[in-house]
Every structure is written in structure tokens, then in C-alpha cells.
Structure 1
Amino acid sequence: MSGAFYKSVEAKVSSATSRSFPIVNRTSLHGGCINKAERLESDDRSYFMKRNNESFLIHFEEEQVALDELSGAGAIRVPRPICSGIADNQSYLVLEFISLGQPTETSWELLGQQLAQLHHSVLPNFGWHRDNTVGTTKQINNVSDDWISFFRNRRLLHQMDLAQKNGFKLKNGPQLLESLSSFFDGYSPSPSRLHGDLWSGNVGFDTSGAPFVFDPCCYYGDRETDLALSEFFGGFHPKFYAAYNEAYPLDQGYVKRKILYNLYHCLNHFNLFGSPYDSRSQLMTNQLLKFV
């Protein structure tokens, strides 16, 4: 990147923090498969910055708002957003830099307890006041007082339609959508404050072992969706689930619904990355219909 880009970031950070921030060192970091990431350092502090092309600014602004939403619950730590903007045809987001450490079993227990506390924070309706993205796929959050219709229309149907446009038609998809209510017999979820993309790659632990989460696609929905995704890709210690369940016990129907909730993410992964998520989505659908 050009010197003009970093000068613009220096000025924006300095203005946002009311302290001069002359960059004296930059270190490239792993930023995932979407963004480029760097550690920016001055003589007395450092920040984490990720950047992308100019059109990506809306995603960074969404992330800022979602981090503030999670932080507002006072339950679990997130990197503090500093600023975002555009410079030299690049968009960027600057966050608090948190040095990484190694988790202990106690660290995982604390994460489970804090997630349960986050999920106790509720609103009257499902959804959120704005749409956002899961990966780079639009996530529709128009509010609703009916979780089943919300998940059917804003989540599964949306991903099924995108998948069909991308060349994959889910067999028996309409049958599954018509049968959703059977997965909620005797269970009425509350609109909990959610991370929305809780896989192990979006969880970290600082040098003291304390947990934090990042890259949210926040909305208000069934708390089981966060737990389900944490299981889908693995990487969470059993102590995490034990601590969560002790603090906020899960309904016995979760063992079936977690497959339903992860179908949303599996379809999204097909829409982002293609095979083998099409065949995996079909297997999950077939499994779900056996419960009906």
C-alpha cells in the first residue's frame, strides 16, 4: 500500500482516539480468506487493521456496529472498534489489538459462562435493526415475532434460493420448510443476543487466558444457533459446553435442531465455496426429514 494510505489511517486513528498515532512499524497478519490484515504500531500502542477494496466498507461498518452490540451486553470481551474508512481506493477497519495466548480448561469454562450470559440478553423480536453478512453473503434480519417463520424465510429459504441460482437445488427442500414447526414442539425460543458466526476461528484467548470473540454477524434469535455452529466445525473444548449448559441448560430438542440450524451455514458455505457443501447439505436435509 502507498504511504498516502497509511498517512490517512494515522490521521483517522489519531482523531478517533484524541491521541497522535504515528505508525512506526507494520506487520502482516493472517486475515482469513476475505481480508488482508496488519498490526500497526506506534511507540506506545498498537492496533489491528484489516482492509479490502473500497466497496467492502459497508461490511466493515456492519462489523463495527455488531461489535458494539455484543460489547453492550457486558458479557464477553470483543476487540474495541477504533475507526473505519476509505483511503487510496481501499476500505479499512481498525480495532483494538489483543495479543494471543493459550487457553486452559478454565478459559473454556469462562467462555461457556460468558456466552450464556450474552444469551440471557434478549429483545422482544427476532432479527435486528439492519441486515449484515455471514461471510460475504447477505443476511436478512427484518424483525419478526415468529421465530419459525423468521428462520424459514430469512435463513433457510434465502440460502436455498441462492444455492439454486448457483446450480444446486436441494431435494425435498420445500418439504423440510413445510415441516419446520415439528422441530419446535414444546419449545419456544427467546430472541437472544447472538454472535451469529461462532466457529472456533472467531474465538481467541489473550495472554492471561481470558476469552474474547470477534467477526460477529450479530442478530437476535434462538441461542441454540450459536451453540450449533460451534459444533459444526469443531474446535471447542468439552469444558465450554459443560459450563454453558450448567449456566443456561439446553432443551433436549437441541440435538435435532442443531442439524437444522447448521443446514443454514452448510448451504451458505456452498454458496461461498461450492462442493462438497452441496452433498453435505443434502445429507443433512435427508437426516432432518427422518425426524418428521
Structure 2
Amino acid sequence: MPLPDSFAAWLVEHLGVEPLSCHPVGGGCIHSAWRLDLADGRRLFAKTNGVSSLPLLEAEAEGLRALATAAGEAGPRVPVPLACGLAGASAVLVLPWLDLSRGRFAADELPWRRLGAALATLHRHSLTRRCVAEDRVGAAFGWPRDNVIGSFPQRNGWEADWGRFFVQRRLAPQLEHLVRSGQPLRQGSVLLERAGQWLADHQPDPCLVHGDLWSGNAAISGDGLGVIFDPAVHRADREVDLAMARLFGGFPEAFFEGYQETWPLPSGHRPRRDLYNLYHLLNHANLFGGSYVGQSQACLDALLERGMGEGWG
């Protein structure tokens, strides 16, 4: 497929090489995705959308750079953005092309175990490796600017207390939006109060997290290395990444074993898992409605029924 003149000129300006063609690729539900074939024989990956979507792509690019900084050589592979901006009437993000051959390693646990270990390394290294945007920030939870989770706004800013951050910047906006859309959850305000109490004695390190780590945002590349992409980064309890990795399935148990062997999770992580995943269920309820509203209510009810019985600290 030939490229629009404005897009081709933009690529030459930012990459210094002429693009020959582009081909649509599947997998995205927000942006259009393309494979770019260049005159020097390389392939690249591009996301495009309308001009108004530039902040979303800029936030993604910022998140990828931050993850790559924290990952270093021992962490998971992260596609580092090559260019991001406006090309005519399109917002564009250009990334390296990766051969994501999940199927090739479907029966091989070793690459997934290595990916779990690499994620643990990223989390640990992020405590001392910070991106430019965080230079003047101390040990706090959040991110320098708001971003998105899927296509839903994700409220950030900075907060020294993890429980307060999670309640006020994660759960509360989702529950408030359901109220505004006419789908309020029973005892939502009670859950917010209790969640703060449950997390009061839990003092995690403010690790850089991927933030949207379901199986569609991770893969094993053709050379057997684990890759993560499409993040919703912020500094948080590292358990949020491991919790979401279990929410929708897709990660083999070897992934979690590799993480545990490298940096074991503290006690109380299992009951916290459901609380952290309530955020993602609420997000899906706001984005897609349907059965996710009922799943969110069921999760909320179960959390309130369980209360402090299993220990949260």
C-alpha cells in the first residue's frame, strides 16, 4: 500500500530513510497499526490515529522510554520509540518492528519463566533508575502526567501514601464514572473507605509498573526473548502488574514462578490481588459495559464480605 505524501515526508524527516510501503496489521482496538517497509531493508511498526490522539501516543512513548530505562539489559525487551508526532492529519508513533511469535514457544515454559524474572528485575531496578520526567520527584506513587488505561483516562499526579493513591486516583474515578453513566455499584463508597483501611499498613516500594499487563501486551519474540508493550505506566505497588497478569489468563504459571524466584512477593499479596484487579474490572465496565458491570459488583461484594479476614498488610 502506498503511503500518503505527508506521511512519507514525515518519515523521511524523522527517520532519514525513505519508506517504500505500509501494510495494515491487526491487534489494536484504539489506533490503526501498520508495518512499514523501508528502502534500507528495515521494517518498522507504526500506530496512527486522528490529530486529537497525539497526547495518547505521546503518553505511550513516554511510558515505553521509562520502562526501557528501568529494564536495562537484564529486564524484558521494550520497543523504544523512534518517532512520535503529527504527520499531516494523523498522529503517529513509530516503533521497532518485532517478530512476536507467541505460538512458537507455546509449549516451552523457559521463555515465560525468563520474562517473569526479567519483570522482577525491571521492578527492582526502577527504584534507582528514573526517567527524565521524574528527576525532581522523591519516593512517591504516581506519574508526572495523566495517561490512559485502554482508552479511559488514568488520573496520576503524586502521592506519598500508596493506599490513598490507589483509592483516590484509581478506584474512585472509575466508580464515579459508573455513577455518572447511570450504572452505580452498590456500596461503592463503603468499598473506598474500607480499601484505604485495608492498605493502611501495607507500605510497598514505589516501583515503575507497566500498569496494563494482560497477556495481549506481552509476548515471546521470535528469538525467544520476552517483550512488553502498550503500557499505562506509573509508580505503584509492584503487585499490581502480577495481579493483572492473572486476571484474564494467558500467562503460564512459569511466568509467575520466574518472578517469585527473582524477587518474591510479600505476605498478603493474594487478598490484595482481588482489590487491585477491581480497578481493571471497573475500567472494563466503563469501557464496554455489559457483563463487566456485574463482574465488578461481584468482586466488590466479595471484597466487602471478606473484609480483613485474610490479612492485607
Indicate the residue corresponding to 1:191 in structure 2: 206
Partner Cα separation in structure 1 for residue 293 and residue 80 of structure 2: 37
Counterpart contact for 2:215–2:245, Cα < 8 Å: yes
| Matching residue's letter, 1:5 | S
> Once the two structures are superposed, what CA deviation does each residue of 1:97-116 show, in whole Å capped at 9, x if it has no partner?
11122333111011100111
Structure-2-length-normalised TM-score: 0.88
| Cα RMSD after superposing both structures | 1.5
Partner Cα separation in structure 2 for residue 5 and residue 206 of structure 1: 32
Matched residues, number = 287
Tell me how far 1:182 sits from its aligned partner: 4.3
Tell me how far 1:88 sits from its aligned partner: 3.0
Say whether 1:23 aligns with 2:19. Answer: yes
Partner Cα separation in structure 1 for residue 305 and residue 11 of structure 2: 57
| Matching residue's letter, 2:34 | E
> Once the two structures are superposed, what CA deviation does each residue of 1:60-88 show, in whole Å capped at 9, x if it has no partner?
11111100100001122111201112223
Say whether 1:88 aligns with 2:85. Answer: no
Partner Cα separation in structure 2 for residue 98 and residue 57 of structure 1: 23
Partner Cα separation in structure 1 for residue 9 and residue 168 of structure 2: 42
Equivalent residues in 2 for 1:229-268 (5 A)? 229-268=244-283
Partner Cα separation in structure 2 for residue 265 and residue 119 of structure 1: 20
Partner Cα separation in structure 2 for residue 59 and residue 182 of structure 1: 33
Indicate the residue corresponding to 1:105 in structure 2: 109
Structure 1 residues 232, 288: CA separation in 2 closer, same or farther (over 3 Å shift)? Answer: same
Indicate the residue corresponding to 1:62 in structure 2: 59
| Matching residue's letter, 1:91 | A
Indicate the residue corresponding to 2:8 in structure 1: 7
Selected match of 2:46 from 43, 46, 49: 49
Partner Cα separation in structure 2 for residue 99 and residue 291 of structure 1: 44
Structure 1 residues 281, 23: CA separation in 2 closer, same or farther (over 3 Å shift)? Answer: same
> Once the two structures are superposed, what CA deviation does each residue of 1:208-255 show, in whole Å capped at 9, x if it has no partner?
110110001110000111111111111001100111111111223111
Counterpart contact for 1:230–1:236, Cα < 8 Å: yes
| Matching residue's letter, 2:4 | G
Structure-1-length-normalised TM-score: 0.94
| Matching residue's letter, 1:149 | R
Partner Cα separation in structure 2 for residue 61 and residue 275 of structure 1: 31
> Once the two structures are superposed, what CA deviation does each residue of 1:40-71 show, in whole Å capped at 9, x if it has no partner?
01132111001111100001111111001000
Say whether 1:156 aligns with 2:171. Answer: yes
SS in 2 for 1:193: strand
> Once the two structures are superposed, what CA deviation does each residue of 1:151-203 show, in whole Å capped at 9, x if it has no partner?
11000001101111122111111111111244337532111110010000000
- Poorly superposed stretches of 4+, deviation over 6 Å: none
SS in 2 for 1:290: helix
Counterpart contact for 1:40–1:46, Cα < 8 Å: yes
| Matching residue's letter, 1:105 | E
Tell me how far 1:291 sits from its aligned partner: 1.8
Structure 1 residues 9, 279: CA separation in 2 closer, same or farther (over 3 Å shift)? Answer: same
Say whether 1:290 aligns with 2:305. Answer: yes
Say whether 1:117 aligns with 2:114. Answer: no
> Once the two structures are superposed, what CA deviation does each residue of 1:7-30 show, in whole Å capped at 9, x if it has no partner?
23322432xxxxx32122322101
Counterpart contact for 2:36–2:44, Cα < 8 Å: yes
Counterpart contact for 1:183–1:256, Cα < 8 Å: no
Tell me how far 1:5 sits from its aligned partner: 3.2
| Matching residue's letter, 2:90 | Q
Partner Cα separation in structure 2 for residue 181 and residue 160 of structure 1: 15
| Matching residue's letter, 2:78 | V
SS in 1 for 2:140: coil
SS in 1 for 2:184: coil
